[in-house]
Amino acid sequence: MMKLTKAQRKKVFLRLNLSAPSGAGKTYSALLMAYGITGDWGKVAVIDTENGSASLYSHLGEFNVIDLEPPFSPERYVEALKACEDAGMEVVIIDSSSHEWNGAGGCLEINEKLAAAKYKGNTWSAWNETTPRHDAFVNKVLHTRAHVITCTRSKTETVLDGNKVKKVGMKDIQREGWEYELTVSLSIDRDTHMVTASKDRTGLFFNADPFVITVETGALIRNWCESGIDEEEEMLGAIARAENIAHLTDMMKRAPSHLRVSDRVRTAANDKHKQLQYYGANDNEPRSVSDEQE
């Protein structure tokens, strides 16, 4: 049954994209922002597809790295994200997401090979198989239980700025619409390292003057992310208030998938189920501890 509820902003995990041409400072900026979010280098992980470039900044702090080598298939990115999630990382930087799309073994190459092998060279038809694989990567980015910062290369174009030739980033090297999947999309100027927002659901950056990313930028985002209602704490409270097993079971079925797989939620639900079973709360009339003693 559909039910109307009052809109409430939940506590959220950040989904932010940094877009820039090579040499603009995406990795360094992402690391500063990540530390600002968590305040603990040990809780920051970088999925590095850039030949170990993240490790060049190891002097900043003892963050963690997964050096991801070809093939850059969507499945390998998903595996790396899961490894970071399982290790309890609070911020995961993907540097870069562009390889998933056009790197060696990425989606464009996957699609070409599929077209040649199964579709008589028809790349359009091959996307019926490639698109779900890319979508699985996007969904993992969106649903990972950690803040995710993606670094995306942009195509470089040379323009004339007065009497000076300038290199600018024009378009993300990713599937079209990539930036709109995320909460915030920031573009970094290659020469000045100044940042502007192309998309911003937080309201923190969209009307701001161009700025340089610092640790304080991450702290600002952290405060925004934590200013809503904590979904997990809300769910734990609801489990504690469950009056019978039928109510508890229905609640768990209706919960979002990321809450159902939470260790804290599952443990609380199992403990509550045992408690309700022990006190005979299997019907619609819950029995209290005092009822049992009587």
- pLDDT bin (cut points 50, 70, 90) of residue 229 is low
Count Cα neighbours of 123 within 13 Å in the Cβ-side half-sphere.
7
- Residue in the structure block whose two tokens are 């911020």: 91
* Candidate ranges 212-216, 232-236, 277-281; pick with highest mean pLDDT: 212-216
Given this model, what pLDDT does residue 168 score? 57
Count Cα neighbours of 25 within 13 Å in the Cβ-side half-sphere.
17
Inter-residue contact 31 to 46 (CB < 8 Å): yes
Q: Which residue has the higher pLDDT, 263 or 173?
A: 173
In the chain, CATH 3.40.50.300 sits at 15-225
Given this model, what pLDDT does residue 290 score? 34
- pLDDT bin (cut points 50, 70, 90) of residue 184 is very high
Given this model, what pLDDT does residue 228 score? 65
Residue 293 reports pLDDT greater than 70: no
Tokens (6 digits) for 183? 């909460």
d(CA 15, CA 150): 8
The predicted model scores a pTM of 0.75
d(CA 88, CA 40): 12
Least reliable range by pLDDT among 5-9, 20-24, 55-59, 152-156 = 5-9
Q: Which residue has the higher pLDDT, 277 or 46?
A: 46
Inter-residue contact 10 to 142 (CB < 8 Å): no
- pLDDT bin (cut points 50, 70, 90) of residue 197 is very high
The mean predicted confidence, pLDDT, of the chain is: 87
d(CA 82, CA 294): 50
Residue 4 reports pLDDT greater than 70: yes
Residue 284 reports pLDDT greater than 60: no
Which segments of 119-262 does DSSP mark as H helices, in order? Answer: 123-143, 215-225, 231-240, 245-254, 257-260
Q: Which of 18, 150, 29 is nearest to 80 (CA)?
A: 150
Given this model, what pLDDT does residue 156 score? 67
- Residue in the structure block whose two tokens are 């997401």: 97
Record: fold of 15-225: Rossmann fold (3.40.50)
Given this model, what pLDDT does residue 177 score? 84
Beta strands in 22-146 (DSSP E): 44-48, 64-67, 91-95
Given this model, what pLDDT does residue 258 score? 64
Tokens (6 digits) for 263? 């260790």
Question: Is residue 227 packed enough to be buried (19+ CB in 10 Å), middle (13-18) or exposed (0-12)?
Answer: exposed
Length of the chain equals 294
Q: Which residue has the higher pLDDT, 257 or 154?
A: 154
Residue 261 reports pLDDT greater than 90: no
Least reliable range by pLDDT among 69-83, 99-113, 222-236, 268-282 = 222-236
d(CA 233, CA 229): 8
Inter-residue contact 152 to 18 (CB < 8 Å): yes
- pLDDT bin (cut points 50, 70, 90) of residue 230 is low
Given this model, what pLDDT does residue 175 score? 94
